[in-house]
Structure 1
Amino acid sequence: MSTRPALSAEAQAQLDRELIVAAKANNVPLASELIQRGGNVNAKDAIQDSAFLYAGAEGFNEVLRLTLAAGADVASTNRYGGTALIPASEHGHVETVQILVDAGVPVNHVNNLGWTAMQEAILLNSGGPRQQEVVRLLLAAGADPNIRDAEGRTALQNAERLGFAEIAAMLRGRG
């Protein structure tokens, strides 16, 4: 095993910034190279994005897998106090949600807005097939549908209020 010389703090910070930029561009080869050179997948930029958090939020699954293999902190949070699973759920990134659940991202984490991944999957999208599948995956992973949002509503109450009958039916069986 070869040992690379330690980078100066400035050089490490530059490498970490380049990794975040590569992740945000979904540039898999460059992200891989930067990780191999010692880029820290948990380093955050000025708006609290890391390569891991951004890849998870945007459904950039190849970059996400690279960051997980390089030791991403699955409990790390973004500027909203949310894990990568919360925006992935909101956007209906079904495969990404499965990757994050399998990696051990906490399914019942509540962000600064008072929402879990399940609440965001319901409140901030259309209730369509991808959102239904996300809710199914979250329930299967042990997500608690009875956690109330900042307005005091459960996931079921929000699904019913928004007219998402398929999601409401799933939640009725679990609540």
Structure 2
Amino acid sequence: MSFLKQTLTAALFVVATFTSFYTSAVSDATTQADTQQSATRPNMETLKARYFDAAREGDSAMLSAFYQAGLDVNVADEKGYTALILAAYHGHTDTVNFLISEANANPCQEDNRGNTALMGAIFKGHVSVAKQLVFADCDIDEENEQGQTALMFASLFDRQEIIDTLIDKGANPAHMDKAGNSVADIALSQGNYELAKVLREQNAN
């Protein structure tokens, strides 16, 4: 082999070896950078967890940031709780107002058991939140999986202010759940005889 040919062969070997190592190094560096970026970049589940925490805490500014970033305002967690359901359950009047009025959250959306934001607010006794939700564009006699309505929740927990508002809005005092209980029956089960009497009178009318 001539000296020129030997020199050219050696040069090509060096170039090939350098290219191989360079490509490998670039690939390793890129993989490492991607891994580091993935480690520092929150995934969707983490973002959702922060979103739901903001709803529980009544952090309207944080919820607004998520909304502006394009997160579906009606996204639900593993129990079917939306931001609106959580905010209502925890009594955050301003946050409920923001979610409905500005973020266009669905006030009729149910959790995995068929309960609504209104039912959650009544259960916890958050009167101002419940009154907001009563006037949302939903079926006032929307039922959960047990066939219970918001009026039944109000009767069970003796939320008289909400009962009056619900009935004024058209809630049916004669409604019966899947177990055959009426709204008045539920009041009686709690020893609330006066409320049961009022409900039966309204039913008769």
- TM-score if structure 1 supplies the norm length? 0.80
CA RMSD of aligned residues (A): 2.1
Q: Does 1:46 align with 2:78?
A: yes
Q: Does 1:33 align with 2:61?
A: no
Q: Does 1:81 align with 2:114?
A: yes
Aligned mates of 1:13, 1:96 — CA distance in 2: 28
Q: CA deviation at 1:144?
A: 0.5
The match for 1:64 is 96
The match for 2:141 is 108
Aligned mates of 1:11, 1:66 — CA distance in 2: 26
Q: Does 1:161 align with 2:193?
A: no
The one of 84, 96, 99 equivalent to 2:129 is 96
Change (3 A) 1:18 1:39: farther
Aligned mates of 2:63, 2:164 — CA distance in 1: 31
Q: CA deviation at 1:53?
A: 1.6
Q: What SS does structure 1 have at the residue aligned with 2:162? A: helix
Q: Which runs of 5+ in 1 are unaligned?
A: 1-9
Q: Which runs of 5+ in 2 are unaligned?
A: 1-41
Q: State the identity as a percent.
A: 28
Q: CA deviation at 1:71?
A: 1.0
Aligned mates of 1:14, 1:65 — CA distance in 2: 25
Q: CA deviation at 1:101?
A: 1.4
AA partner of residue 64 (structure 1) = V
**Using CA pairs below 8 Å that are at least 6 residues apart, which structure has the higher relative contact order?**
1
AA partner of residue 109 (structure 1) = E
Q: What SS does structure 2 have at the residue aligned with 1:32? A: helix
Aligned mates of 2:139, 2:51 — CA distance in 1: 25
Aligned mates of 1:58, 1:159 — CA distance in 2: 24
Change (3 A) 1:167 1:92: farther
- TM-score if structure 2 supplies the norm length? 0.70
Q: Does 1:142 align with 2:170?
A: yes
Alpha carbons 1:89, 1:121 under 8 Å: kept: yes
Alpha carbons 1:90, 1:117 under 8 Å: kept: no
